[in-house]
Amino acid sequence: MHISLNLGDVRAEVDTVAARLRELSVDGVDLVEPAFGDGMPPMCSGIVLAPWPNRVADGRWVLDGELQRLDITEPELGNALHGLLEFTDYQVIGQADHMVELAAYIAPQHGWPFALDTAVRYELRPDGIAVTHVVHNRSARRAPWATGAHPYLRVGGAPVDELRLEVAAETHYPVDERLNPVAGAAPLDERTDLRRPRRVRELHLDTAYGDVRHRNPRDGVGDTAWLTAPGGARTVLWQDLNWGFMQVYTTPAYPRPDGPGTAVAVEPMTAPPDALNSGEGLVWLEPDERWSGGWGLRHEAAR
CA-based torsion, 36, 39, 44, 46: positive or negative: positive
Average pLDDT, the chain: 97
- Is omega for the bond preceding 159 within 30 degrees of 0, making it cis? no
Residue 203 included in any domain: yes
**pLDDT tens readout for residues 189-221:** 999 999 999 999 999 999 999 999 999 888 899
Mean local confidence (pLDDT), 115-140: 98
- Dist CA 210 CA 170 (whole Å): 7
Q: Residue 52 is part of which domain span?
A: 2-284+294-300
Residue 64 included in any domain: yes
Residue 280 included in any domain: yes
Ranking 94-98, 115-119, 179-183 by mean pLDDT, the lowest is 179-183
How many Cβ atoms sit within 10 Å of the Cβ of residue 26? 27
Residue 289 included in any domain: no
CATH number, domain with residue 108: 2.70.98.10
Residue 169 included in any domain: yes
- Structural domains counted in the chain: 1
E-only strand ranges, 142-233: 143-145, 148-149, 164-167, 169-172, 186-187, 198-199, 206-212, 215-218, 221-228
- Dist CA 187 CA 268 (whole Å): 20
**pLDDT tens readout for residues 62-108:** 999 999 999 999 999 999 999 999 999 999 999 999 999 999 999 99
* pLDDT exceeds cutoff 90 at 37: no
Better-scored residue on pLDDT, 129 or 220: 129
Residue 142 included in any domain: yes
Nearest to 139 by CA among 286, 279, 283: 286
Residue 33 included in any domain: yes
Q: Number of helices (H) and strands (E) in the chain: give both, helices first.
A: 1, 27
Q: What is the pLDDT of residue 303?
A: 83
Q: What does DSSP say about strands 66-69 and 60-63: parallel, antiparallel, or unpaired?
A: antiparallel
Mean local confidence (pLDDT), 167-173: 98
Q: What is the pLDDT of residue 219?
A: 86
Mean local confidence (pLDDT), 98-121: 98
